[in-house]
Structure 1
Amino acid sequence: MVRFITTAVLLFCSAVFGQAKFEQSMGESLALWGQGKPTEASAKIERIASVEKANWLPNYYIGMINTTEAFKPENREKATALLEKAQKAVDEAAIISPNNAEIMVLQALVYTAWIVQDPMTNGMKYSNKAMEQYFKAQAIAPNNPRVVFCKAEFEIGGAKWTGADTKPLCAQVEKSIELFATFKPETALHPNWGLDRAKKTLENCTK
């Protein structure tokens, strides 16, 4: 019995230490991203992902970093490579955590980044795919602020081409801001972004 208890305590301590190390490493990686070092951040998280094979968050952030970089005009020449890396990471995250609304939103953002690179060629190819991801995410997590906001933001972008009324979409952006106010991420490392963008989008709605 004593041996069993000792073993259990050691396993528990090992798990706690492992989680603390993971959180520290991820925190350092995200800090690099915040310092304007996306390549270094992505590389460091790739190393974490190679160890944390059962955790979807490292691959999520690899996808997020590379997708965000692909949106930047100055990275246009590197956009294809960035989005291919992002897609691979999103695929890995989805295998680890299927039916995850956060990953679906990220997948939709990858599709949106492809559209931004070449709207005439990629618009028809990826618009429906992006909306499919948003609808799936909405069915799983209708009160997730990123689901509500990003879906509305994407549709507002499409309205510029179709001439659709944006008032209902702006109302959804406003709703997302209310949801952000009460949203509690599972941990400090779980996705918690989007509020600033939602506020800026709402400001543009009222102009």
Structure 2
Amino acid sequence: MKKLILTFSLSLLGFTAFAQTTYDKAMTEKIGKIETAKTADELTALTNDFERIGTKENSQWLPYYYAAYSTIQKGRVLMRSGKTADLDPVAEQAEKYIAKAEALSPNNAEIYILKKITSGFRMMVDPMSRYMQEAPIAQNAISKAKELDPENPRITVLLAEDAYFTPEQYGGSKPKGVELFKKSLEQFAVYKPKTALDPNWGKAEAEYFLSQK
């Protein structure tokens, strides 16, 4: 009987390890595709892939995090095309996945970073009328992220973007943004994600802005 129990236990461990390996492989492949995706359709497909993984691996927060992040990247593609009017549904969809990720991993700085971005999307649809509502939400999100993980370089990247695109009369400037981008690269040099699947984006954005003359 003891031998039978031991055999069953070993089989269960082997199955768990195989399932984890399959999950890691699928996630690694999909995460890599986010940065190379060029179109809104490609990013929508990735969002759907991450949602399916999240439904299957229902105790994992990262699939829903990346579903939200893929949606956010789709929003950035739309912004570059001048389609800011389409950002409301993008923000709404991203927030749906953010809520699912947060339910599985509360008090997570990476999730608050995404909240800051989605609030920014909503503000960009109509900055004049939405600033008073969305600016405090975005500020609270980034402040909470900094409280939870003060040396996270993605926080500094977002602050750098804000400074870079904010006119001097409102407290920003390109030089201030550049200094923050430089600081983020210093943080990236020493910051280590908790796992191979944890968020590790942002360095390319900082390098891009620093390459602009």
TM-score class, shorter: 0.7 to 0.9
Match of 1:67 in 2: 72
Q: Paired residue for 1:144, among 152, 164, 176?
A: 152
Does the CA contact (< 8 Å) of 2:30 and 2:46 recur in 1?
yes
Q: Paired residue for 2:95, among 80, 87, 99?
A: 87
Q: Paired residue for 2:185, among 177, 183, 187?
A: 177
The unaligned stretches of length 5 or more in structure 1 are none
Match of 1:2 in 2: 3
- After superposition, residues 130-169 of structure 1 pair within 5 angstroms as 130-159=138-167, 162-164=170-172
With normalisation by structure 1, the TM-score equals 0.86
User: Which residue identity is paired with 1:8?
Assistant: S
Cα deviation for residue 134 of structure 1 reads 1.1
Does the CA contact (< 8 Å) of 2:165 and 2:172 recur in 1?
no
User: Which residue identity is paired with 1:2?
Assistant: K
Q: How many angstroms apart in 2 are the aligned matches of 1:77 and 1:149?
A: 25
Q: Paired residue for 1:191, among 182, 186, 199?
A: 199
Change (3 A) 1:157 1:131: farther
Match of 2:31 in 1: 30
Cα deviation for residue 173 of structure 1 reads 2.6
Mean Cα displacement is larger for which, 177-186 or 95-104? 177-186
Q: How many angstroms apart in 1 are the aligned matches of 2:53 and 2:143?
A: 31
Partner-residue secondary structure (3-state), 1:18: helix
User: Which residue identity is paired with 2:30?
Assistant: S
Cα deviation for residue 196 of structure 1 reads 1.5
RMSD value, Cα: 2.3
Does the CA contact (< 8 Å) of 2:157 and 2:184 recur in 1?
yes
User: Which residue identity is paired with 2:4?
Assistant: R
With normalisation by structure 2, the TM-score equals 0.84
Q: How many residues align?
A: 205
Partner-residue secondary structure (3-state), 2:60: coil
Does the CA contact (< 8 Å) of 2:61 and 2:105 recur in 1?
yes
Does the CA contact (< 8 Å) of 2:61 and 2:102 recur in 1?
yes
Cα deviation for residue 109 of structure 1 reads 0.8
